[in-house]
Structure 1
Amino acid sequence: MKLLQKTMLLVCCSSSMAVLANDFSFDRPGTGFGTGITPVGRLAWEQSLPSVNYQQSTLEGDRQKNLTLNGDVLLRTGLASGLELQLGWDGPAWSQTKYRGQTHEKSGNGDVSIALKKAIDLNDDKMSMAVLARAQIATGNDEFSAHDDIYTVGSSLDYKFNDLVNTGISMYYEVQNSDWSVTAVPNINYKIAGKLSGFSEFVYRKQESQAYQYSLGQGLIYSLNDRAQLDASIAVQLNGDDRDYKAGLGFAYLF
């Protein structure tokens, strides 16, 4: 009898963990963030393998090319029901600049960040919402740092259209050295086949005293199981005369 009770308890606990994993969602890839919250006592590790940024511009009539790689990481853990703590690091970075026949390479570390994300109960089976408060601390090396701290308030709204398609929008309001910026990221996520899904997003950004910025991102996500995924993404800047591409591979796991 005791053996049967222990077996039933183990099955119930395993089922509960599976439900938690199924309700959870990773924030990578993409510019926006999801509405899922890390369960209490669990840790989500989201790692780029790496992120790549390529820029090509014209400087004094000559073409300048810049390539940057960095291994950014985000750790998320549940503090309470519907509330999580996030610790981020832009990671080790390396850059190469080619200009007028000369090549310069640099390496260093990026900035760190700390954030809180809170789920908002909308009492709706198809719609979910979360808000984010984040501080990016300019601790990185000069070549890979924002130089001044960035404080961000964000919101994300997700709508489950059906079992195959999700739509949503993320909004960010940032302040850096008294300058404000706003970023809007409408997105769509869709099932492709089996464990493979995709996403598309449009990024609009307006920074104080700066021109509008637009970019378009696409990506693929492969779910290894309920707690792990692989992803690949690419984004291209749509405005301006310079060429600006971002791409990356990533891995995420829920402990």
Structure 2
Amino acid sequence: MNLRPALTAALLLAIAAPAFADAPDFDRPGAGFATSVLPAGTLALEQGLPSYQRQRQDGYLDRTYTADSVIRIGLGGPAELQVAGSAWNRLEERGMGSRRHAVGHGDTSVGLKIAPGGSSDAGNFSWAALGNITFANGDKDFGNGAREVSLGATGQWQVDETHQNTLYANVDRLKGRNSWTLAPTFGRKFGENWMAYLEADAIHDAEDGNEVQAGGGVAYTIGDHAQLDAYALHRIGSRGPSVVAGLGVSVYFGGKR
């Protein structure tokens, strides 16, 4: 299963979409995902421009650039289909007196999001769950090498019209081993268009052990159908990537919610 045909189809649908409506909550940026789903028959594309990761390990310094994509399709009711992957990646590796680079595509995932508490009538608290299956169809340097199953949940507390807090929990099962993530996020709106947040990620990686990352990001709404975002996380401790950062754009296509 390759992401490129899916992305092409999504872009064609986007061009053909007759009208824009008020943008829904996008999953980008930050840990977790929105606690709402798209209306039935509508589409959103969330695209990294790209993301960047820097990691030093075993005498090597790796820099990875990833154009990650998520296509979201509203199924009706509390359900949403997601297709995700990265059609373009670049790895730059230096160490032990050698240098190399690689370019290729990553694995593709298909997921189902359920948001029973995602409507505006849910009050101050809402939640959603997302299950994903990631297929091992990526190039060697950018894929898992085996099928991965993931299950995550996000809970959101709307403190007032300006502040909201979320808690994201996720487990990935790959090659018979589990990796866990727990990430609280604290967000604040600034006027009609700006949002900023702080984030902390506690990760237990099945291969690399425990990692902690902290940082934050901003998002800017354009009109009533698009969003730009930027984020950065820095490692706390000695394990995991030293820097993770990225830019992104999200666009919603469809009728009124």
Q: TM-score range by the shorter chain?
A: 0.7 to 0.9
2:122 is paired with a residue whose SS is coil
Specify the structure having the higher radius of gyration (Cα): 1
1:148 and 2:146 are equivalent in the alignment: yes
- Counterpart in the other structure of 2:205: 207
Query: Quick one: distance in 2 between partners of 1:53 and 1:126?
Result: 35
AA of the residue aligned to 1:131? A
Query: Quick one: distance in 2 between partners of 1:119 and 1:243?
Result: 31
Work out which of the residue numbers 65, 82, 98 in structure 1 matches 2:94. Answer: 98
- Counterpart in the other structure of 2:45: 45
Work out which of the residue numbers 246, 251, 254 in structure 2 matches 1:253. Answer: 251
Kindly indicate whether the alpha-carbon contact (under 8 Å) linking 1:91 and 1:109 is maintained by their aligned counterparts in 2. Answer: yes
1:71 and 2:67 are equivalent in the alignment: yes
2:249 is paired with a residue whose SS is strand
Q: Where has structure 1 moved over 6 Å in runs of 4 or more?
A: none
Gaps of 5+ in 2: 1-19
AA of the residue aligned to 1:157? G
CA gap of 1:183–1:160, structure 2 versus 1, over 3 A, is same
Alignment TM-score, normalising by the size of structure 2: 0.84
AA of the residue aligned to 1:171? A
Q: How does 1:157-176 map to 2 (within 5 A)?
A: 157-176=155-174
CA gap of 1:95–1:119, structure 2 versus 1, over 3 A, is same
- Counterpart in the other structure of 2:127: 129
1:55 is paired with a residue whose SS is strand
Shift of the alpha carbon at 1:181?
Answer: 2.1
Identity percentage of aligned residues: 26
Kindly indicate whether the alpha-carbon contact (under 8 Å) linking 2:179 and 2:206 is maintained by their aligned counterparts in 1. Answer: yes
Kindly indicate whether the alpha-carbon contact (under 8 Å) linking 1:58 and 1:242 is maintained by their aligned counterparts in 2. Answer: no
Alignment TM-score, normalising by the size of structure 1: 0.85
How big is the alpha-carbon RMSD for the aligned residues of Structure 1 and Structure 2? Answer: 1.9
Kindly indicate whether the alpha-carbon contact (under 8 Å) linking 2:71 and 2:82 is maintained by their aligned counterparts in 1. Answer: yes
- Counterpart in the other structure of 2:137: 139
Query: Quick one: distance in 2 between partners of 1:82 and 1:140?
Result: 31
Q: Which has the higher contact order (CA 8 A, sep 6+)?
A: 2
Query: Quick one: distance in 1 between partners of 2:229 and 2:56?
Result: 26
- Counterpart in the other structure of 2:8: none
